[in-house]
Structure 1
Amino acid sequence: MTSLLLALQFFTIVPVHKNLPMERRSITGMYSIFPWVGTVIGAFACLLLYFEWSHLMTAFSIVLLGIIFSGGLHMDGFIDTSDAFFSYKDRLKRFEILDDPRVGAFGVMAVVLLVVGKVIIVSEVLLAESFHWVFILLIPFFSRTTLAMLFSLTNSAKASGLACYFKQKMNASDVIVANVLNFVIGVIILGWLTNWTVSLTFAIILVLFVCLFRNWSLKNFGGVTGDLLGASLEVSEVVLWLTLLLLLS
């Protein structure tokens, strides 16, 4: 229960007004069940399908709900990461940009393209004849599984910050095992409710994404930070929606 409350406290706007213990067991549990927070977001997003709106309006609402429910935390990480990476500065300067609360031009351009692109892609998926509501439920689940795996498998880029603190506190091997199990459960559910081609394609794409994003993070930042992990979640969701569009079209 403590791990669940921590996950809600740090990664959603759900008000958890408690001083919760930040112990190894609870931090490990928080990242182990973190993907299931995504299913809660997806479940609320599924309710939007019952409104008789246009596909574009429904897609916009699904994207907006995800941003609101997470408090814009991951989107903020994507913006900061875009500013830092596209500055083409050295690594030290990139870390300064990540810590800067101001938003630069690259961050603005990147987030506009991300949101507009995601809305358009989701609206196109909603129009597909073989669309299934489980896609809305599971894509936030898979993106958070990806984040947890990246965090477990990659060293911290900085010796300070909340992500570094969590990294030192958690048992990485336990988080890896838990999220491999989460991943397998998600793949089975997706294959059972839709078809195994989509499910197995998702599995391959996610494994490739983790490998590629991890290598990119190590090359450009020397590891991961909270901002980079937030960016990984946002980008992985777009990649999954785009993959789904290509499979259903």
Structure 2
Amino acid sequence: MRIIKSILIAFSMYSRIPVPQFKWEEEEYSHAITFLPLIGMVIGGLEIGLWFLCCRFDVPVFVTSLLLCLVPVVITGGFHLDGYMDVCDALSSYSGRERSLEIMKDPHIGAFAVIGFARYSLLFILGAYLLAYAGAGDTDYMGIYLFALLFVFVRALCGVLSLVLPKAKSDGMLSREAGKTGSADFMFLTFLASVSGLFMIYINLMAGALAFLALIIFCFYYAYLCNKKFGGVTGDTAGMFVARGELIGLLVLAVCLFVVRL
């Protein structure tokens, strides 16, 4: 029962999917991040279903690509993008550690956050278009399965890093979410990351392996960046990891599949 409550809390926190409301106990709340990849499974499943419908009704490629971009935003409510934008503001300020943390905590939006969001959105649409173009009309397109697995893989990696990396603030949101996690949480997230990553490679050796490698490299960069700029990870940096990880994975997959199609 406790696990089910933790799953429901995870969906309530990290998505806009309606779940039953109940009082959150600290023990259940502190394991929510373990089930973050489950939201990725829902997003991935919806992406596959949407792709099938677009192929079935001959929806134009550009419209299909825009719809693919909208699914994660609708499901999460832009939760991770909010963190990404806060980190954009903090990094662009070139301030010290304490000031950077204050900027991320500030509810107001800065110019660099808007610029970062615009850049991110254009690149994501570009990646989705290349991905959709490479498999236009193919209901059994392997690219959409790779894209769907990407949402699980990135969130599982985010969960692992959130558990193992030092926290920038002991009283921060991420510290509370991962406060009472243990080896079982780590093993579960590592298992999901391994399975989803290996399935990507199995589906397409070149595209899957390159996306896998790119995201593993990004993990090391993320750890270095967070330690240097913020003294550890926060809820905002975790959101940035998910947003930027999805973008990196999408661009790698899209370019690989587009080049093969040519």
| TM-score of the pair, normalised by structure 1 | 0.91
Equivalent position of 1:59 in the other structure: 65
Unaligned runs of 5+ in 1: none
Question: Does 2:220 align with 1:211?
Answer: yes
Q: More deviation in 236-245 or 178-187?
A: 178-187
Equivalent position of 1:186 in the other structure: 196
Q: Which of residues 33, 36, 42 in structure 1 aligns to 2:35?
A: 33
RMSD: 1.8
- Measured against aligned partners, the alpha-carbon deviations of 1:161-205 in whole angstroms (never above 9, x if no partner) come to 22121232222x33322122112211333234x222333333322
| TM-score of the pair, normalised by structure 2 | 0.87
Distance 1:14 1:246 in 2: 32
| 2:178 partner SS | helix
Distance 2:36 2:98 in 1: 31
| 1:69 partner SS | helix
| 1:223 partner SS | coil
Distance 1:200 1:121 in 2: 17
Equivalent position of 2:138 in the other structure: none
Provide runs of 4+ in structure 1 moved above 4 Å: none
Q: More deviation in 199-208 or 222-231?
A: 199-208
Distance 1:27 1:46 in 2: 31
The number of residues matched between the two structures is 245
Equivalent position of 2:185 in the other structure: 175
- What does 1:156-171 align with in structure 2 at a 5 Å threshold? 156-171=167-182
Would the alpha carbon gap of residues 47 and 141 (structure 1) be closer, same or farther in structure 2, given more than 3 Å must change? same
Equivalent position of 1:8 in the other structure: 11
Distance 2:170 2:163 in 1: 16
Distance 2:61 2:22 in 1: 40
Would the alpha carbon gap of residues 167 and 32 (structure 1) be closer, same or farther in structure 2, given more than 3 Å must change? closer
- Supply the AA of the counterpart residue of 2:23: N
Determine if contact 1:125/1:131 at 8 Å carries over to the other structure. no
Determine if contact 1:77/1:227 at 8 Å carries over to the other structure. yes
| 2:24 partner SS | coil
Determine if contact 2:208/2:253 at 8 Å carries over to the other structure. no
Q: More deviation in 228-237 or 239-248?
A: 239-248
Q: Which of residues 147, 153, 173 in structure 1 aligns to 2:158?
A: 147
- Supply the AA of the counterpart residue of 1:47: G
State the 1:85 CA deviation.
0.7
State the 1:144 CA deviation.
0.5
- Supply the AA of the counterpart residue of 2:215: L
Distance 2:47 2:204 in 1: 22
Distance 1:170 1:187 in 2: 23
Equivalent position of 2:243 in the other structure: 234
Give me the identity figure in percent: 24
Equivalent position of 1:46 in the other structure: 48
Equivalent position of 2:207 in the other structure: 198
